[in-house]
A and B are shown apart, each in its own frame.
Chain A
Amino acid sequence: MTSGLVYYLSGLAILLGINLIAIWGLDLQFGLAGINNFAYIVFQAAGGYAAALFALKPAKAYGGFETYLGGFNLPFPLPLIGAAAVGGLLAVPVGLIAIRRLRADYQAMAMLVLSLIATGLAEAQTGLVNGPTGLALIPRPLVGIVHVTPLGYNWIFLGLTAGCCALAWWVARGISRSPFGRLLRAVRDSESAVAALGRNPDALRMKVLIAGGALAGLSGGLLVEYVTAWGPSSWLYPETFLFFTALIVGGKGNLAGGALGALLVPIGIVEASRHLPAFGYPGMIDSLDWVVIGACLLVFLWFRPNGLLPERKRVFRAGRQQAGGTQVSGAFAQRLTGSR
C-alpha cells in the first residue's frame, strides 16, 4: 500500500469518525425522541465556528485577511470543548422557538426555516464569521507541539477522533439504555400520554436537543480543526438530510445502525462518486450524489423504514412471582383479549 493511499484512508477514517459523532447526536434527537431537527447542520456549523474562533488568533494577527468576532487563540482541547458547549447551548433558543407549542410537523418546518435564517445571517454579516467566504487558517490541534509528518499527524488526529467517538458512544449508549431514554421513546410515540403520566415532554425534548446539539458541535469542531477552513457553503441545509439519510438507511434508535449508515452514506456514496470518471457538465457528479442520496432515502422510507439494523427490542425476564391479589387465568385472558 502506498503512503499516499494510507494517507487517504486515514483521512477517510477521520471523516467517518466525525460523521459518526454527528449521526449519533442526531439519533438521540430524531431516532430516540422523534424530533425532526431539520436544522441539525446548524448545530454542527455552530460548533465549527466556535472551535475556529476559539483557536484562531485575533483577526489583526493575520493582517486583515479575514474578519470575525473574537479570535481567542486557546490551546487544545479548549476549542473542541467550546464547540461542544456552543452546540449544546444553541439548543436552548432553538428548542424554545421550535419545540414548545408546535406540533411535530410544524417543528420540522420551523427547524428548516431556522437553518435557512442561520445561513443567510452568516453570509450577510461579514464581520461575524467572515461572511460567505468563511474562515480559513484555522490552527490544527497540537501543531507546533508535535513535530511529525503529515501522515503521522493524520494518525494523531485519528486517535483524537476515536477518543471523541468513544465519548459520543458513551453518551448515546448511556441515554438510549436508561430510563431517561425510555421516556424519550415514549415522547416519540405519544406526547400527550407522557404528559398525562406526570412528565413534561417539552423538558425531555429540550434535554435531548442539548445532548444531541453538543455532539453535533463536537463533530463540527473536529471537522473544522481537521480541514482548517469553514464557510456557509459547507453547511447548507441539504447537509442535514445527508445525516437523516444515513440514519434511516442504517437504522435509527440503534447505535450500530447509525455507524453503518455513516459508513454507507456520507463515506460510501460520496467517496465512491469521487472515483467515477468525469462526464457531463462540470459539477454533474456532485449533483448526482444528491440524486443517489435522495433516492436512497425514498427507497428506505418506502420499503425499509426501520433501516438495515432496526432499533432493538428491550426484553425483560419475568421477576419474582406475584405475592397475592386476584388472578385471571392466562388462558381465559387470552380468550378475552385475543392474544396469542
Chain B
Amino acid sequence: MTTSPGASHPAAGETALAGSQARPPLLRVEGLACHFGGVLAVQDATFDVRHGTITGLIGPNGAGKSTVINLISGSTRPGQGSVRFNGDEIAGQRPHEIAHRGIVRTFQQANVFGGLTVLENLLVGAAPWRGERVSAALGRKQAWSATQSGLLDQAWDILRRFGLEGIANDYARALSGGQRRLVELMRALMAQPALLLLDEPMAGVHPALAASIADRLLEMRDAGMTMLMVEHELRLVEKLCDPVVVMARGTVLAEGSMAELQSNQEVVDAYLGGGGGG
C-alpha cells in the first residue's frame, strides 16, 4: 500500500518543528567560506539546521549549495568559518570522522558500490562494527555472523519498506539511475544518521519515483530524522522543507518558509524569477 504522493504529514511535522525550536540547533554553520583557486565558491554562509526538520537548501546553479554539503561532510576543507554539530566543531575534519559523529550524506551523482549487490550496499551502510576488523576476518565466523544476521534483517526490512526486495541480490551496477538513488538512500538509512545530507536526491529521477522518495523522506522526518536537502524542484521543496535556505553567488540570501521566501523580492529576483529553479 502506498501513500499518495501529495499527502504529507503536517501534524507530525509541525509537532517536531515546534519541539525543535526549543532545542539548540543540531547543526550550526557560521561564516563558512571556501574558494577554488581564485573563485570564491562559498562566502560567509551562515544558517542552522534544527532537530527533526528537513531544511531545504536552494539556489540557482553555481550558488554554492553542493559545496556547502561538501564542506559540512568534510569532502572539501573550508577556508574559514565554523561548522558545529551537536555543539562540537567539525569543520576541517575528514569525511569518515564526520560520518562517525552521525552525519551521513548522499551524492549529487548516485554513488553506489557497483560491484556489490544491493543488499551488500546496505550492509556497508551500517555503522562500523567489530565484525569489520581484520581480526574478525581471520577468526571464527561465528564471532560475527550473529551480528551480521541482525544487520541483514534490518536491511531486508528497509528493502521491503521501499518495495525493492526483488532486486536485493542484483549488482548495483546493473540498476537504473532512479534505483541507484534509492539504494543510496536506503544505505544511508542503514547508518541511522543523526543528520542526513541529501544532495539533489531527485535529480534525474522519474516524477512518480520522486514522489515516492519524497514520501519516504517525510516518513523519516516524522520518525525523528533531521535532514539538509539540496533540491532544484521547488514543488518538492515546498512539500518537504521548512525552513528553506536560499543561496546565490556563494552566500546565504534568505531563510524562511517557502511562503515567506516567495514574497521576498530579493529571492524572487535572484532565483525564483530567474528561471533557475525546477
Smallest CB gap from B211: residue in A: A336
Q: How far is the CA of A319 from the CA of B155 in the complex (A)?
A: 9
Smallest CB gap from B164: residue in A: A333
**Is A279 among interface residues, defined by CB-CB distance under 8 A?**
no
Smallest CB gap from A334: residue in B: B166
Q: How far is the CA of A25 from the CA of B95 in the complex (A)?
A: 29
Contact partner, A313, options B100, B128, B141, B171, Cβ 8 Å: B171
Contacts of B137 in A (CB 8 A): 174-175, 177-181
Main secondary structure of the interface of A (DSSP, over half): helix
Q: How far is the CA of A334 from the CA of B206 in the complex (A)?
A: 13
Smallest CB gap from A331: residue in B: B163
Q: How far is the CA of A320 from the CA of B152 in the complex (A)?
A: 9
Contact partner, B176, options A207, A323, A337, Cβ 8 Å: A337
Q: How far is the CA of A330 from the CA of B168 in the complex (A)?
A: 12
**Is A318 among interface residues, defined by CB-CB distance under 8 A?**
yes
Q: Are A339 and B167 touching (Cβ within 8 A)?
A: yes
Contact partner, B132, options A183, A320, A333, A337, Cβ 8 Å: A183
**Is A89 among interface residues, defined by CB-CB distance under 8 A?**
no
Q: How far is the CA of A333 from the CA of B219 in the complex (A)?
A: 17
**Is B131 among interface residues, defined by CB-CB distance under 8 A?**
yes
Q: How far is the CA of A333 from the CA of B175 in the complex (A)?
A: 14
Contacts of A178 in B (CB 8 A): 131-132, 136-137, 141, 144
Known contacts A171-B138, A175-B138; is-contact A189 B114 (Cβ 8 Å): yes
Known contacts A175-B134, A183-B124, A314-B120; is-contact A192 B96 (Cβ 8 Å): no
Contacts of A192 in B (CB 8 A): 75, 95, 107, 111
Q: Are B112 and A338 touching (Cβ within 8 A)?
A: no
Q: How far is the CA of A292 from the CA of B12 in the complex (A)?
A: 69
Main secondary structure of the interface of B (DSSP, over half): helix
**Is A211 among interface residues, defined by CB-CB distance under 8 A?**
yes
**Is A340 among interface residues, defined by CB-CB distance under 8 A?**
yes
**Is B204 among interface residues, defined by CB-CB distance under 8 A?**
no
Smallest CB gap from B219: residue in A: A326
Contacts of B179 in A (CB 8 A): 337-339
Q: How far is the CA of A26 from the CA of B86 in the complex (A)?
A: 43
**Is B266 among interface residues, defined by CB-CB distance under 8 A?**
no
Known contacts A196-B95, A198-B191, A338-B176; is-contact A186 B124 (Cβ 8 Å): yes
**Is A149 among interface residues, defined by CB-CB distance under 8 A?**
no
Q: Are A186 and B164 touching (Cβ within 8 A)?
A: no
List CB contacts (< 8 Å) of B188-245 with chain A.
191, 206, 208-209, 212, 215, 219
Min C-beta distance of B190 to chain A, whole Å: 9
Q: Are B176 and A180 touching (Cβ within 8 A)?
A: no
Q: How far is the CA of A275 from the CA of B171 in the complex (A)?
A: 44
Q: How far is the CA of A318 from the CA of B131 in the complex (A)?
A: 21
Min C-beta distance of A309 to chain B, whole Å: 16
Known contacts A175-B137, A333-B162; is-contact A198 B115 (Cβ 8 Å): no
**Is A146 among interface residues, defined by CB-CB distance under 8 A?**
no
Q: Are B113 and A190 touching (Cβ within 8 A)?
A: yes
Contacts of B160 in A (CB 8 A): 322, 327
Q: Are A180 and B134 touching (Cβ within 8 A)?
A: yes
Min C-beta distance of B188 to chain A, whole Å: 8
Binary per-residue interface labels of chain A (7-39) against chain B in the complex, 1 for a CB within 8 Å, 0 otherwise: 000000000000000000000000000000000
Binary per-residue interface labels of chain A (66-106) against chain B in the complex, 1 for a CB within 8 Å, 0 otherwise: 00000000000000000000000000000000000000000
Interface size class of B (residues with CB under 8 A): 35 or more
Q: How far is the CA of A322 from the CA of B163 in the complex (A)?
A: 12
**Is B117 among interface residues, defined by CB-CB distance under 8 A?**
yes
Contacts of B131 in A (CB 8 A): 178-180
Q: How far is the CA of A337 from the CA of B219 in the complex (A)?
A: 19
Q: Are B178 and A337 touching (Cβ within 8 A)?
A: yes
**Is A283 among interface residues, defined by CB-CB distance under 8 A?**
no
Q: Are B127 and A198 touching (Cβ within 8 A)?
A: yes
Q: Are A196 and B136 touching (Cβ within 8 A)?
A: no
Contacts of B178 in A (CB 8 A): 336-338
**Is A281 among interface residues, defined by CB-CB distance under 8 A?**
no
Min C-beta distance of A241 to chain B, whole Å: 23
Q: How far is the CA of A316 from the CA of B150 in the complex (A)?
A: 13
Q: How far is the CA of A178 from the CA of B138 in the complex (A)?
A: 9
**Is A287 among interface residues, defined by CB-CB distance under 8 A?**
no
Min C-beta distance of B77 to chain A, whole Å: 13
**Is A3 among interface residues, defined by CB-CB distance under 8 A?**
no
**Is B125 among interface residues, defined by CB-CB distance under 8 A?**
yes
**Is A1 among interface residues, defined by CB-CB distance under 8 A?**
no
Contacts of A185 in B (CB 8 A): 113, 115-116, 120
**Is A234 among interface residues, defined by CB-CB distance under 8 A?**
no
| 19 new A-B contacts at CB < 8 Å, known A174-B139, A190-B113, A193-B113 | A175-B138, A177-B137, A180-B131, A180-B132, A180-B137, A185-B116, A186-B120, A190-B111, A199-B128, A315-B117, A318-B165, A319-B156, A325-B157, A326-B219, A327-B1, A328-B163, A330-B165, A330-B166, A332-B2
| 28 residue pairs bridging A and B, Cβ less than 8 Å apart | A175-B134, A179-B132, A180-B132, A180-B134, A181-B137, A183-B124, A185-B115, A190-B113, A194-B124, A195-B94, A195-B96, A196-B95, A196-B105, A197-B104, A198-B100, A198-B191, A199-B132, A201-B96, A322-B160, A322-B161, A328-B212, A330-B165, A332-B2, A333-B164, A333-B212, A337-B176, A338-B178, A338-B206
B residues near A (Cβ < 8 Å) are: 1-3, 73-75, 94-96, 99-100, 104-105, 107, 111-117, 119-121, 123-125, 127-129, 131-134, 136-139, 141, 144, 148-149, 152-153, 156-157, 160-169, 171, 175-176, 178-179, 182, 187, 191, 206, 208-209, 212, 215, 219
